[in-house]
Each structure stands twice: as C-alpha cells, then as structure tokens.
Structure 1
Amino acid sequence: MSIALFLLTFLFPPRTISVPALALPSTVASLSPRPVALALPVMPVKKAPKTLTYRVTATTYWPEPDQTDDNPMETADGSIIPERHSSKTRWLAVSRDLLAKWGGPFRYGEKVRVRGISADLDGVYVIHDTMNRRHRHAVDVLVSERECKKKTGFEGRWTDIKLTKYAEEPTWQPG
C-alpha cells in the first residue's frame, strides 16, 4: 500500500451506514428454480474435406523482362529456371492471396494439381513464383516462348480452373 493511500485512510476512515433491509414480497421470496426439459435437434457435424479445391484463373508466361521483373530467370523463392525449360518443367506462379505468406493455403515448393486448362497443361505443378500484386485467385503456368509459337492453345487465359493441393498416394511398406 502506498504512503499516500495509508495517510488518506488514516485521516479519513471509511464510514459505514446501516440501512434496514428491504423486505421482498412473499410471492417473489417463495419462487424457486425448477428444471425444464428442452428438446434440441442434433445437427450432423460436417467434416472438412481432406483437400480443398480452389477455382482460379490461369494464364501462361515465359521468363522475359516484359512478363516478369528485371531478373526473369530467378523465381520468387530463389529457384533458377532451367535455360532449356518447357511446359514439362511444371513450375507455377500463384497470386499472393493463395500464398501462406499473405494468408493463403499454399507455400513455395508445394505440389498442386491443376485441372481444366488443356490436356497438355493439366497436371501436377510445383509452386516457385509469385504473380504481380494486382492478381487475385490466379495462377501462371511456366511455358517456353517457342512452345507458344509452335502449338496452338499454349498461350491464353482460362477461367474456372481447379487448383488442389497434391497428396501423393501412400506406398505400401512391408510391416
């Protein structure tokens, strides 16, 4: 206790005032709680799915300063794009809202399954890069410029693409 508080309590002691107790009416005083049975419906608990599917917009890109930054061969996670890469490299850039760093479900290096673009571009990809901050719910598939010029359907924009975390099937191990 501080000295100031002690002195105040000593010099001005608290006063007690006696007030007669108020009587409650007899009807209120005689009430007692009683148990009441309630019938509540039991709702089934929904289990969260093992893997969530996200609907995104997909585009393709190749490493050049017009489509990336001033160092086009280096991705956001520090990986270097192979000099003779193709769509078979299976690298992916995702929008920031999909990355865990900004509150999303995916991390660099994770594998994801992409479905809905085309037979050539659907498949399992590894996340290595980040798209420009203006994009939301979008992915960018790494392809080579020569593939886009040779094959039709490699360059474009696709909507309603399914993006799912890839979980490898467990392999059997003898016990």
Structure 2
Amino acid sequence: MAFVPAPVIAQRPPRRLPTFTVTATIYEAEARQTDSEPFVTADNSRIPRRHSSKMRWMALSRDLLKKWGGHFDYGDSVRVTGISPKLDGNYIIHDTMNRRHRHCMDILAAKSEHLDEMWKNVKIVKIEPQWRAS
C-alpha cells in the first residue's frame, strides 16, 4: 500500500477588525452625569446599586454606535487598551454618551472609587464572539 499524503487545506488568516482611537473618561450613575434615571442605561440594562468599575460596563459616543452610523452596537464586547493595567480589558457597551461627544468612551465606576481622570489615545476594538458547539 502506497502512502497518500493528507490533502492541504488552505486556511484563511483571521479577519482583522478595525481599531479606533478614543478619549476615555469615567462616569458615575448619578443624575448630574447621566439623566433623570441614572441606574437605567440606554439599552435598558439596570445598574446595580453597589456597582464598581469591575463590572466593565461602558458608554460610547454616538458617532461610534451603529444606530448613528458607527461600528458598535449595544451588547458588543470591546477590548480596551491604553488606560492603565487596572482598567484595560474587556468591556460591554450598555450606554450612550451625550451628543456633544465624539470619538469618546466612558467607563462606569462607583463614586467611592474616586476615579476622575481622562485618557487620550485609548484603543478600542470589537471582540468577535467565539462560538462553540456544545
């Protein structure tokens, strides 16, 4: 019996998703920073009373959301880099920023964390869901 090599299967390289450069800030669930219902986000998610930045929820400026012609949608997971080792990581989009902001993101944090900063040149990229058969 002769040896028959396995057929070569061409693999496509992984699709490269667009990376966006934004300015990142912190927001708290309070009426002066949001609206009259600070514990309800734009996608109707409810922010727990005892939340922190460890929840990894974020708001995006309208120019980045699909509803207004952008690339991201509510519920999308986003990889954030360029803030700090403590705050870089994966976030879920749940909210929208005021219409005056462009190319911006807001990280949800608790008032007790005292995070009052702004970071420029932060990179965000959508994370494609990894589906597995069960």
Question: Take 2:75 and 2:130, find their aligned partners in 1: how far apart are those partners?
Answer: 18
Identity of aligned residues (%): 53
Could you tell me how far apart the structure 1 residues matched to 2:44 and 2:27 are?
18
User: Which blocks of at least 5 consecutive residues in structure 1 are unaligned?
Assistant: 1-48, 149-153
After superposition, residues 7-156 of structure 1 pair within 5 angstroms as: 50-148=16-114, 154-156=115-117
Shift of 1:75: 0.4
CA distance in structure 2 between the partners assigned to 1:168 and 1:122 by the alignment: 19
Greater Rg by CA: 1
In 2: Cα distance, 1:125 partner to 1:167 partner = 13
Report the equivalent of 1:5.
none
Structure 1 CA distance, aligned partners of 2:116 and 2:83? 11
- The equivalent of 1:9 in structure 2 is none
Deviation at 1:147, TM superposition (A): 1.0
Alignment TM-score, normalising by the size of structure 1: 0.65
- 1:155 deviates by 1.9
Query: Any unmatched runs of 5+ in structure 2?
Result: 1-14
Q: CA deviation at 1:72?
A: 0.4
TM-score normalized with structure 2 length: 0.84
| Secondary structure, counterpart of 1:109 in structure 2 | coil
Q: Which has the larger share of helix? A: 1
More strand as a share of residues? 2
